[in-house]
Amino acid sequence: MLMSRRKMILTALCGAVALLGATAARSAYVASSSSMPRLLSVVTDNDWGVIPDPPTADQDLTVIYRGDDEWVEYEVEGEKPVRVDVREKSGFVIPRKDFKGKAGVMLKASGAERGVRVIRF
């Protein structure tokens, strides 16, 4: 009984992945046939915003997270990663002293390309 339940879960997961593939494949059809207006292009964006932009190593870096993860991480080169709870905060500040002698910082969340920003100084 337990085995069949687990098999069912994985079969369902496979089905979900297949469903997403199928829906992506027909998106062009939907875009052209739906009565609702659609943009015919995808704007590639990133869940991270920084101030200043472009960042420099001699200024504090204000980081704004625009995604929907509950927590994110940033990692200054050679240092331990720092986890930040972003459930109620939209952003955080990395002080400039953390960047002294460093080549960059990585901002990390889930969401593949959207969730990552690598900053090089």
Residue 119 contacts residue 50 (beta carbons within 8 Å): yes
Cβ-proximal residues to 90 (8 Å cutoff; 6+ apart), any chain: 64, 65, 66
Q: Which is nearer to other proteins, 5 or 97 (CB)?
A: 5
At its nearest, how many Å lie between other proteins and the CB of residue 45?
A: 6
What is the maximal distance between C-alpha atoms in the chain? 62
Q: Which is nearer to other proteins, 41 or 58 (CB)?
A: 41
Please report, as residue ranges, which positions from 20 to 59 form the binding site for other proteins (by CB under 8 A).
20, 23-24, 26-28, 30-31, 34-43, 45, 49, 51, 53
Residue from 1, 54, 58, 88 that binds other proteins (CB under 8 A)?
Answer: 88
Residue 38 backbone zone (phi > 0: left; psi -120 to 50: alpha; other: beta): beta
Apex CA 24: angle with CA 20 and CA 27, to 5°?
A: 135
Phi and psi dihedrals of 65, rounded to 5? -105, 125
**Considering the rule CB under 8 A, would residue 92 count as an interface residue with other proteins?**
yes
Binding site for other proteins (CB under 8 A): 3, 5-10, 12-17, 19-20, 23-24, 26-28, 30-31, 34-43, 45, 49, 51, 53, 62, 64, 66, 68-71, 75, 77, 80-81, 87-92, 103-104, 106, 108-116, 118, 120
